[in-house]
């Protein structure tokens, strides 16, 4: 396979320094097209790309269109067999891009393949998951996952709590770093732009599976991932994105009864978080703490009343 059949796309929002490190790593790889889609970053990310990486194709959005919409733009701007889609807070390790492309070459039914994701200290991150039932959501988001990972390792692996250790087919993968077969991506219509942030890859892998394609993970490629770089300090907004995306996913693919069970789980989880944070921060009188609690209460109220949609109402 020649390098002309693969490009890399990076979706950027408010992560200038992480984006710089990502592009510097890509610059040391065998040269191929690199696209950056910047979602109106407020920190000068686009200007940095223009000044320091003139060989990058830069797409500047006038507003934050969300992750899925930006990724679709990157696909529309490329004409290759495979596109490696990265978050800006990912640093590919040497040879990772070629390894992912070769994996897709060798596995014709694989629509996408994900590498090992590593924390900056070199430890492995979980990145492969089952399709989420309300029970999975309750265990993973309640903190019971940490108990299971210590005492029931097999359950932890099944839930995607512990890192994947073997190459092969998986239900879905974290979208921080994936190589995607363009023909499969086009066949299912790309990312659903109704997901603003979080859940896009969950939905895409589900639709690919329904269409007869497969999602894979390989230990033969590794990338460092500074998880959550674009969401620091926005906990209430992140909760709303995550909860809203889960609700949108269930509306698309499951029955009303299953959607109701999910809503109940999310309402219980958010109520527990409000109680926890209120007790933990009881003595705090600063404006930021009060704002965080009001934001959490607002999200909980909309989940409970069934008014939380896939489009967040908090700042993005």
Closest CA to 40 of 20, 15, 57, 17: 15
Q: Per-residue pLDDT tens for 22-65?
A: 999 999 888 789 999 999 999 999 999 999 999 999 999 999 99
Residues paired with residue 38 on neighbouring β-strands, in sequence order: 12, 60
List every span in the chain annotated with CATH 3.90.550.10.
Answer: 3-127+163-230
Q: Is 217 left (phi over 0), alpha (psi -120 to 50) or beta?
A: beta
- The pair of structure tokens assigned to 135 is 């029970």
Q: Per-residue pLDDT tens for 110-135?
A: 999 999 999 999 999 988 988 888 88
Binned at pLDDT 50, 70 and 90, residue 273 comes out as confident
- Please state, in angstroms and rounded to a whole number, the distance separating the CA atoms of residues 29 and 255: 46
Q: What is the pLDDT of residue 133?
A: 86
Q: Residue for token digits 């969401």? A: 231
Binned at pLDDT 50, 70 and 90, residue 205 comes out as very high
Q: What is the pLDDT of residue 53?
A: 97
- Please state, in angstroms and rounded to a whole number, the distance separating the CA atoms of residues 48 and 12: 12
| Choice between 234 and 316, residue whose per-residue pLDDT is larger | 234
Residue 3 confidence (pLDDT) above 70: no
- Please state, in angstroms and rounded to a whole number, the distance separating the CA atoms of residues 116 and 127: 8
How big is the chain by its Cα radius of gyration, in Å?
19
Q: Is residue 190 a contact partner of residue 203, using CB atoms and an 8 Å limit? A: no
Q: What is the pLDDT of residue 269?
A: 82
- Please state, in angstroms and rounded to a whole number, the distance separating the CA atoms of residues 126 and 22: 20
Binned at pLDDT 50, 70 and 90, residue 8 comes out as very high
- Please state, in angstroms and rounded to a whole number, the distance separating the CA atoms of residues 223 and 90: 6
Closest CA to 110 of 168, 35, 32: 168
| Choice between 136 and 233, residue whose per-residue pLDDT is larger | 136
Q: Is 303 left (phi over 0), alpha (psi -120 to 50) or beta?
A: alpha
Q: What is the pLDDT of residue 236?
A: 55
User: Cα angle at 158 between 196 and 177, to 5 degrees?
Assistant: 40
Q: Per-residue pLDDT tens for 63-75?
A: 999 999 999 999 9
Model confidence, pTM: 0.83
Residue 235 confidence (pLDDT) above 60: no
Beta strands 214-225 and 168-170, pairing class: antiparallel
CA distances from 304 to 90, 210, 246 (A): 35, 31, 14
Give the domain 3-127+163-230 fold. Answer: Spore Coat Polysaccharide Biosynthesis Protein SpsA; Chain A (3.90.550)
């Amino acid at each position: 396979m020649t390098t002309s059949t693969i490009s890399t796309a990076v979706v950027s929002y408010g992560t200038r320094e992480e984006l710089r490190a990502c592009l510097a790593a890509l610059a040391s790889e065998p040269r191929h097209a690199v696209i950056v889609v910047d979602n109106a970053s407020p920190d000068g990310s686009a200007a940095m790309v223009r000044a320091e990486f003139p060989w990058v194709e830069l797409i500047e959005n006038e507003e934050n269109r969300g992750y899925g919409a930006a990724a679709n733009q990157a696909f529309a701007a490329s004409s290759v067999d495979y596109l490696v889609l990265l978050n800006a807070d990912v640093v590919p390790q040497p040879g990772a891009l070629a390894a992912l492309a070769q994996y897709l070459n060798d596995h014709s039914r694989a629509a996408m393949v994900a590498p090992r994701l590593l924390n900056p200290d070199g430890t492995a991150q979980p990145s492969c998951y089952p399709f989420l039932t309300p029970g999975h959501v309750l265990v993973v988001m309640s903190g019971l996952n940490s108990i299971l990972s210590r005492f029931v390792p097999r359950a932890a692996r099944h839930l995607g709590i512990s890192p994947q250790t073997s190459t092969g087919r998986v239900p879905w993968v974290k979208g921080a770093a994936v190589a995607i077969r363009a023909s499969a991506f086009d066949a299912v219509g790309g990312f659903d732009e109704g997901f603003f942030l979080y859940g896009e890859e969950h939905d895409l892998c589900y639709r690919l599976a329904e269409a007869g394609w497969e999602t894979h993970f390989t230990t033969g490629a590794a990338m460092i991932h500074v998880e959550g770089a674009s969401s620091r300090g926005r906990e209430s907004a992140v909760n709303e994105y995550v909860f809203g995306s889960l609700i949108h996913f269930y509306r698309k693919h499951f029955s009303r009864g299953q959607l109701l069970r999910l809503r109940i789980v999310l309402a219980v989880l958010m109520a527990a978080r409000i109680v926890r944070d209120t007790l933990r921060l009881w003595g705090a009188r600063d404006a930021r703490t009060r704002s965080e609690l009001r934001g959490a209460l607002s999200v909980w109220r909309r989940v409970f009343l069934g008014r939380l949609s896939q489009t967040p109402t908090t700042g993005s």
